[in-house]
């Protein structure tokens, strides 16, 4: 259902109760029509021809390759979605891209995959074997953490190895039904930033 009409205030101070009701209904209808998953898919698709910035493949191809490996390993839809969008904020933000990705997806995903998204940045450094500026042992402070093993596995087998220009990734179109069914539910309650802050992204 599309909500028509628009409010005419010039400052929020002047908005009326019916303005707020109109905007709320319009936003709700729009989110029912295009989920967070649809929006992120559109954003990822727009990066298809982006420069690779010196990498063997660009961020789009890396993202799709990572998600393809997750899918072919038989992992669940949540991890496929996480893989598809895990680096998307690198194209948008100079800030910690794992934390930004976690913020985008946290209402929809489990605590362990939220943690994985935030901390994959530290765990990935383990694979920067010949980069003298990387701290390969940034992940060590999480040894014993219940989510350590899955995050290390994600980085080793799905992420750090997904820069292969010859890898036969599945087309983005193949992920559309997975993303659609994952987000096909009422939006869960929003999680607050303090909840993510407790995860502490700094290495
Ligand atoms: Fe990353
Ligand atoms: Fe990555």
Q: Which of 116, 125, 124, 88 is nearest to 104 (CA)?
A: 88
SS3 13: helix
- With the CA atoms of 27, 31, 37 and 39 taken in that order, what torsion angle do they form, in degrees rounded to the nearest 10? -50
Per-residue pLDDT of the chain (203 residues; tens, 9 = 90+): 777 899 999 999 999 999 999 999 999 898 888 999 999 999 999 999 999 999 999 999 999 999 999 999 999 999 999 999 999 999 998 888 999 999 999 899 999 999 999 999 999 999 999 998 889 999 999 999 999 999 999 999 999 999 999 999 999 999 999 999 999 988 787 776 555 555 555 55
109 phi and psi angles, rounded to 5 deg: -115, 165
Distance (Å) from CA 21 to ligand 1 centroid: 39
Kindly report the average pLDDT of the chain as a whole number: 92
What is the pLDDT, as a whole number, of residue 155? Answer: 98
Distance (Å) from CA 72 to ligand 2 centroid: 17
- Taking the C-alpha atoms of residue 186 and residue 35, their distance in angstroms, rounded to an integer, is 10
- Taking the C-alpha atoms of residue 147 and residue 127, their distance in angstroms, rounded to an integer, is 18
What is the pLDDT, as a whole number, of residue 203? Answer: 53
What is the pLDDT, as a whole number, of residue 190? Answer: 76
What is the pLDDT, as a whole number, of residue 189? Answer: 78
What is the pLDDT, as a whole number, of residue 101? Answer: 95
Distance (Å) from CA 126 to ligand 1 centroid: 12
- Taking the C-alpha atoms of residue 133 and residue 111, their distance in angstroms, rounded to an integer, is 30
Both structure tokens of 8: 């005419």
Q: Quick check: 81 and 107 in contact, CB under 8 A?
A: no
Q: What is the DSSP letter of 52?
A: -
Distance (Å) from CA 49 to ligand 2 centroid: 17
Residues in the chain: 203
Q: How much is the pTM?
A: 0.90
Distance (Å) from CA 134 to ligand 2 centroid: 15
Distance (Å) from CA 128 to ligand 2 centroid: 12
What is the pLDDT, as a whole number, of residue 188? Answer: 81
Ion ligand 1 residues within 5 Å by Cβ:
87
Distance (Å) from CA 163 to ligand 1 centroid: 12
What is the pLDDT, as a whole number, of residue 104? Answer: 92
Distance (Å) from CA 128 to ligand 1 centroid: 12
Distance (Å) from CA 63 to ligand 2 centroid: 7
Distance (Å) from CA 86 to ligand 2 centroid: 6
What is the pLDDT, as a whole number, of residue 197? Answer: 53
How far is residue 1 from each of residues 27, 179, 189, measured CA to CA in Å?
Answer: 11, 22, 22
Ligand nearest to the CA of 161: 2
């Amino acid at each position: 259902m599309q909500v028509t009409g628009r409010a005419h205030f010039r400052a929020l101070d002047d908005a009326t109760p019916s303005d707020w009701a109109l905007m709320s209904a319009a936003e709700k209808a729009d989110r029912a029509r295009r989920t967070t998953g649809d929006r992120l898919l559109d954003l990822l698709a727009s990066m298809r021809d982006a420069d690779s910035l010196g990498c063997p493949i660009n961020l789009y191809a890396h993202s799709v390759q990572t998600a393809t490996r997750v899918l072919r390993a038989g992992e669940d839809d949540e991890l496929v979605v996480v893989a598809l969008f895990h680096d998307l904020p690198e194209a948008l933000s100079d800030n910690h891209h794992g934390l930004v990705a976690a913020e985008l997806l946290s209402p929809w995903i489990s605590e362990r995959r939220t943690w994985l998204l935030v901390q994959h940045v530290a765990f990935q450094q383990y694979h920067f074997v010949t980069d003298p500026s990387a701290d390969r042992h940034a992940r060590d402070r999480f040894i014993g953490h219940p989510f350590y093993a899955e995050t290390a596995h994600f980085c080793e087998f799905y992420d750090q190895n997904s820069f292969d220009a010859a890898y036969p990734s599945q087309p983005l179109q193949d992920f559309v039904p997975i993303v659609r069914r994952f987000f096909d539910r009422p939006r869960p309650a929003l999680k607050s930033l303090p909840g993510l802050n407790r995860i502490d992204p700094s290495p």
